Amino acid sequence: MADRIRAVFAAATGVPTSTFSFDRPEVACAECDGMGSVEVWLRFLPSEWVGCGTCGGRRFADEVPAVRARPADGVE
C-alpha cells in the first residue's frame, strides 16, 4: 500500500519514489534516523524514549514535508 502512495506522490511532484520513504538515509531525519523519537539514556534508571525535537516525530528531513501534492504533503 505504501508503495502505491509513494508512486502517486512521485508522479504528482516529479521526485523519485524513494523521497517518501523514511527508511532511506538521505531523506530520514538525521537526529532520530527516521524513528520519530530518540532514546535518552538515564544513569541508574531505564532509558526513556522521547519525541524527536528536530522532526517533531514526522520521521523525515525538512525537505520532504515541503514537497506538496494537492492539499496533503508527503508525510500525512
Number of domains the chain is built from: 1
Residue 31 Cα distances to 13, 17, 25, 43, 70, angstroms: 26, 22, 11, 21, 29
Phi and psi (nearest 5°) for 13?
-110, -20
Residue 42 lies in a domain: yes
Whether 29 has a pLDDT exceeding 80, the answer reads yes
How far is it, in rounded angstroms, from Cα 9 to Cα 18?
A: 10
Give pairs for 21-25: CB < 8 Å, separation 24+. 22/59, 22/60
pLDDT tens digits for range 48-74: 999 999 888 888 777 665 666 555 555
CATH number for the domain harbouring residue 27: 1.20.1580.10
Pairing of strands 37-40, 68-69: unpaired
Structural domain range at position 32? 2-69
Residue 56 lies in a domain: yes
pLDDT recorded at residue 71: 57
Residue 75 lies in a domain: no
